[in-house]
Amino acid sequence: MQGGETIEVSVLGGLGEIDAADWDACADATAPRPRDPFMTHRFLAALEASGSVGRGTGWQPRHLVARAGGAVIAVMPLYAKSHSQGEYIFDHNWAHAFEQAGGRYYPKLQSAAPFTPATGRRLLTLPGFETVGRGALIDAATRLADNNGVSSLHVTFCTAEERAWGEAAGLLGRTTQQFHWENRGYADFDAFLADLSSRKRKTVRKERERAQSFGGEIVTLTGEAIEPSHWDAFWRFYQDTGARKWGTPYLTRAFFHRAQETLRGDVLLVMARRNGRWVAGALNLIGRDVLFGRYWGCAEEHPCLHFELCYYQAIEWAITQRMARVEAGAQGEHKLARGYLPVEIHSLHWIADPGFRRAVAQYLDTEARAVDREIEVLTAYGPFKRCGGDDDGRETD
């Protein structure tokens, strides 16, 4: 920070109260690709404009904006939550325990990309303002929680660096795990397969052959190639999957209209068509170095088509585009056999009640040790060749 200006932090009731260029400058959302597509003004504004978040959803915007000398230097996506749905860092047991003890867990404050289990910055600062910007945002968020008498503040799927900043400021750090595919400099998909044990390599090839023999074609679409008809089909897929997984889908139909208008350049659709009809699809968002898998759905069931559209096509596209990794969303140990390995995921938590905070801290310490062990075990069962072993991962004589 230059000049020692006083920093002022204000609370916004929506993204319409800040210029998109100011927000995106902090979010590092410049062309040709944003660092994180979920932190762009256009993505978060699409959620608000479509009614996917806002009044009646349990996600009420309370975004923070830090200014120095009148200029925006840092922003933070923040929501007042009346439930714990759509977060993927689960605190339902915390809420139950606190309320059983006579406390009131909701409302709470949540810094996140709604409905999005993808790692990214939450303390968004202009270059050169990292120290003062992060400090101002963390201080303002905890004061907002304290002054309004809410039970807690949660910063989910933040970066490891932000976690360190938050813990230094007195927040509790939490470790969970997710499955990511890492690009080890592969020239093509066959080079990736060559990195697997022979048994796993054969399995992947068989799954791809089986999926691609479903009687139709698979296409990848992004930017201007995406048309309203593709969203019509994908909405049907999303409705089906959402109804089965969550009861009520999080995103409204209006969100997909908005995506056609403002988000096509950030989207990769992988669609399967048979007999002139779209029968399945996977929706990904494109970051600067990461491809983020988000939603899948189908109108027809075909063997292995889910694996092909969600995992193998994503890997192939990422290799072609020289992306560093693919994040395929929450949960799913079935991803392990397909080249997605477990990694640590970070979040931060501020708890108002001292006794409850101590209990949560003890829980997080135990949970972190269990996650470390789980990652170690799962990694050992990964599909890659092992050093010192043969092509199948078995020890040689």
pLDDT at 57: 96
Is 393 among the domain residues?
no
Structural domains counted in the chain: 2
pLDDT tens per residue, range 119-144: 999 999 999 999 999 999 999 999 99
pLDDT at 133: 97
Whether the pLDDT of residue 146 is over 80: the answer is: yes
**Averaged pLDDT, 288-304:** 95
Is 94 among the domain residues?
yes
Are residue 102 and residue 160 in the same domain, yes or no? yes
Mean pLDDT of the chain: 94
- pLDDT interval class at 396 (50, 70, 90): very low
pLDDT at 397: 25
Are residue 234 and residue 138 in the same domain, yes or no? no
Is 1 among the domain residues?
no
**CA nearest 212: which of 290, 316, 284?**
316
Are residue 169 and residue 34 in the same domain, yes or no? yes
Is 388 among the domain residues?
no
Is 2 among the domain residues?
no
What crossing angle do the helices spanning 253-262 and 228-245 adopt, rounded to 10°?
140
Half-sphere exposure of 16 (CA within 13 A, CB side): 7
Q: How far apart are CA 341 and CA 166, in angstroms?
A: 27
Are residue 11 and residue 154 in the same domain, yes or no? yes
* CATH code for position 212: 3.40.630.30
pLDDT at 301: 94
pLDDT tens per residue, range 186-202: 999 999 999 999 999 99
**CA nearest 286: which of 226, 370, 228?**
226
Is 307 among the domain residues?
yes
- The 3-class SS string of the chain reads CCCCCCEEEEEECCHHHCCHHHHHHHHCCCCCCCCCHHHCHHHHHHHHHCCCCECCCCEEECEEEEEECCEEEEEECCEEECCCCCCCCCCHHHHHHHHHCCCCCCCEEEECCCCCCCCCCCCEECCCCHHHHHHHHHHHHHHHHHHCCCCEEEEEEECHHHHHHHHHCCCEEEEEEEEEEECCCCCCHHHHHHCECHHHHHHHHHHHHHHHCCCCEEEEEEHHHCCHHHHHHHHHHHHHHHHHHCCCCCCCHHHHHHHHHHCHHHEEEEEEEECCEEEEEEEEEECCCEEEEEEEEECCCCCCHHHHHHHHHHHHHHHHCCCCEEECCCCCHHHHHHCCEEEEEEEEEEECCHHHHHHHHHHHHHHHHHHHHHHHHHHHCCCECCCCECCCCCECC
383: CB partners within 8 A, 6+ apart:
196, 197, 200, 204, 336, 337, 338, 339
pLDDT tens per residue, range 59-105: 999 999 999 999 999 999 999 999 999 999 999 999 999 999 999 99
Question: What is the β-pairing status of strands 290-298 and 325-327?
Answer: parallel
**Averaged pLDDT, 206-217:** 98
- pLDDT interval class at 174 (50, 70, 90): very high
- pLDDT interval class at 5 (50, 70, 90): confident
Is 350 among the domain residues?
yes
Whether the pLDDT of residue 1 is over 70: the answer is: no
pLDDT tens per residue, range 12-44: 999 999 999 999 999 999 878 999 999 999 999
Whether the pLDDT of residue 395 is over 70: the answer is: no
Are residue 234 and residue 309 in the same domain, yes or no? yes
Is 335 among the domain residues?
no
Whether the pLDDT of residue 3 is over 70: the answer is: no
- pLDDT interval class at 355 (50, 70, 90): very high
Containing structural domain, residue 16: 7-178+343-380
Cis peptide before 107 (omega within 30 of 0): yes
pLDDT at 131: 95
**Averaged pLDDT, 152-181:** 97
Are residue 35 and residue 140 in the same domain, yes or no? yes
Q: How far apart are CA 395 and CA 397, in angstroms?
A: 7
pLDDT tens per residue, range 228-285: 999 999 999 998 776 666 557 899 999 999 999 999 999 999 999 999 999 999 999 9
Residue % of the chain over a pLDDT of 90: 90
**Averaged pLDDT, 182-187:** 98
Are residue 77 and residue 197 in the same domain, yes or no? no
Region of poorest pLDDT, from 1-15, 234-248, 347-361:
234-248
pLDDT at 225: 98
Are residue 155 and residue 210 in the same domain, yes or no? no
Residue 314 tokens read as 């994503």
pLDDT at 79: 98
Comparing 32 with 310, the larger pLDDT belongs to: 310
